[in-house]
Chains A and B, each alone.
Chain A
Amino acid sequence: MLAGACGAHASGSPRAGEPTPATRAGTARYTPTSGDVNGQALPIFAYLPPPTDTLSQASNILVTLCMATYGFTSNVPQIPPGQQVAPMYRRYGVTSLAVADAYGYHLESGSPLRTGHASPTPTMSPAEHLVYFGTPSGTPLRPPGTGTSPDASGAATAGAPAGGCVGWASRQLYGTQVDFSLPRSIETQDFFASEADATVQSTFRAWRACMASHGFHYQTPLDAAGAFKGGSDKPPSALEIVTATADVRCKGKTGLVTTWFDVESRLEERDIQHNIVTLSAIRNAMLAAERKAVTVIANGAHG
């Protein structure tokens, strides 16, 4: 199953006088256009990770403390504040005309995904690795539920806490790992249900007709982005840019993004109400961890 490889037979050419991608890339910034939903949130996001900056900061304190207890006072990876996440950004594809015009479907410099970029992960000595991760250096990390994973279902490795300092810190904040299966399932189900919704399908038809008027033929906006190959190390082709700009214009003309967002939101609200007891328990677990994190930060800051 190769979603996105849609068999499109796009056609088009650079407009007369069009600057080359190389001259434009690096100059455009993210500029929301009509119909953009970046900055809004789907209802299910209230029940999903990622943890907040408060939790990340508390985790940094606890992991650092744990590492120091084992004699390691530097080189500890830290989660930076303000690091992404913009879950609505590009959810329905590219929506900024300025970005499409300069980058096509490539990720622009200064995009919301680039905020709070972390430093490179420090290279650890074998001893540091063992204490931090709970696994010897050079061995793979393990998934949840296995002996050396951060949920520490197994025994500690000699010379390190169970699951490493990262696992120990996590247990101080969360107790056991929070199970996000239900909210992730709701998000999954309703994304596809919204895509199949009659109202959304109607806007897809209008978008396809609009794209066809520009000479492009794709089933959905997400197919269009997936049709261009080359990777991030190569600049977008002229064809990619004219396709992306047509895509954004057609989204604006048809109201596709706001329609899709509204339908997806409505479906999620319904399913949240049907599962409110379980979802509230998840939410409460996250809030409890948040309260512990506030205590850790307050005490750590005054220690």
Chain B
Amino acid sequence: MRRTLTLIAATLTGAMGLALSPAGAAFASTPTTPPTTTPGSAPASPSTSPNVVDGNCYSAYVCYYYESNYQGSHEGVQGDDPDLLNPPVYFQYPGAGQGTYVANNAGSGFNGYPNCYATVYYSAYYTGTSITLSPYGQAGYASPTLGPVNNNDRSQYVC
């Protein structure tokens, strides 16, 4: 398996001008201090949705920010949710907007699912205009405004 992938690497390197060896330029990795993370504090209002954890945005969650440009309080929501308002999901992470509903209050967001598209809808039960966020890392995986569902995010569908 490793040999096969090495051959693929060599082919791609030739075709695309990529540096694909572990020590190659494309993978050059300068040791750095891992990013400082701040654990989510206790929620201002207890979230009653089973689709959230602690306000942080882990992989396999859709991450919502209260403000545009990924600012303010945020919250990760997992799985399909036909109505973010019922049961309510709250912004838990410390920052502007903490304790408020995620539904109809999100100003930006990104998709933390590596293998799924995520679509956020204007209204409940996946109705109305929507924004589709590509899988994590793909073009369009994030939006600094959430476009047509800015402050109008009511339901989400993933995968």
Residues of A within 8 A of B (CB): 1-5, 48-51, 55-56, 59, 61-62, 64-66, 68-70, 73, 77-80, 83-85, 87, 89-94, 105-107, 113, 117-119, 121, 124, 129, 132-133, 135-136, 138-148, 150, 154-164, 166-170, 172-174, 177-178, 180-181, 184-185, 187-188, 191, 221-223, 225-226, 228-232, 286, 289, 292, 295-296, 299-300, 302-303
Q: Are B126 and A107 closer than 8 Å at their CB atoms?
A: yes
* Inter-subunit contact A180/B140 (CB<8 Å): yes
**Does B45 sit at the interface, judged by CB under 8 A?**
no
Q: Which residue of B lies closest to A172 (CB)?
A: B18
Cβ-neighbour of B58 out of A105, A117, A119, A141 (below 8 A): A141
Q: Chain B: which residue is nearest A55 at the CB level?
A: B138
**In the complex, A131→B57 CA distance in Å?**
18
Closest Cβ–Cβ distance, residue A7 to chain B (whole Å):
14
Query: Could you tell me the dominant secondary structure of chain B's interface residues?
Result: loop
B117 and A150 within 8 A (CB): no
User: Distance in Å from the Cβ of B146 to the closest Cβ of chain A?
Assistant: 8
CB–CB B104/A1 < 8 A: yes
Task: Kindly identify which residue among A85, A119, A163, A173 contacts B115, using a CB–CB cutoff of 8 Å.
Answer: A119
Q: For window 118-151 of chain B, which residues contact chain A by CB distance below 8 Å? A: 119, 121-145, 147-148, 150-151
Assembly CA distance A295 to B154 (angstroms) = 40
Chain A proximity mask over B23-39: 1 for CB below 8 Å, otherwise 0: 00011111110110100
Given known A-B contacts A119-B115, A231-B86, A292-B16, A226 and B142 have beta carbons under 8 A apart: no
Task: Judge whether B9 and A113 touch: CB under 8 Å.
Answer: no
User: With A107-B82, A142-B35 in contact, is A49–B138 under 8 Å at CB?
Assistant: yes
Number of interface residues of B (CB under 8 A): 86
Residues of B within 8 A of A170 (CB): 137-139
A74 to B141, CA, bound (A): 24
* B113 contacts across to A, CB distance below 8 A: 118, 121
Docked complex Cα distance between A89 and B121 (Å): 11
Cβ contacts under 8 Å, B27 to chain A: 66, 69, 156, 161, 168
For residues 73 through 107 of chain B, which have their beta carbon under 8 Å from a beta carbon of chain A? 76, 80, 82-83, 85-87, 103-105
Interface SS of chain A: loop
Chain A residues positioned under 8 Å from B16 (CB to CB):
172, 292, 295-296, 299
> Max chain B CB contacts within 10 Å: which of A92, A129, A156?
A156
Of B37, B128, B130, B134, which is within 8 A of A51 by CB?
B134
Q: Are A2 and B145 in contact (CB under 8 A)?
A: no
Q: In the complex, A124 Cα to B115 Cα: how many Å?
A: 13
Q: Nearest 9 CB-CB pairs, A to B? A: A49-B140, A303-B8, A184-B147, A166-B137, A143-B70, A150-B137, A156-B29, A158-B31, A77-B115
B4, A303: Cβ atoms closer than 8 Å: yes
Q: Do A158 and B32 contact each other (CB < 8 Å), given the known contacts A49-B138, A85-B119?
A: yes
Q: List 11 A-B contacts (CB under 8 A).
A: A1-B152, A56-B135, A66-B20, A70-B22, A79-B116, A113-B157, A158-B31, A226-B83, A299-B15, A302-B11, A303-B11
Interchain CA distance A12-B28 in the complex, whole Å = 66
CA A237 – CA B28 in complex, angstroms?
58
The answer to whether B26 touches A161, judged by C-beta atoms less than 8 angstroms apart, is: yes
Cβ-defined partner of A69 (8 Å) among B21, B85, B108, B119 = B21
Known: A105-B124, A139-B37, A172-B18. A181 touches B141 (CB 8 A): no
Q: Which of B30, B59, B144 contacts A181 (CB 8 A)?
A: B144
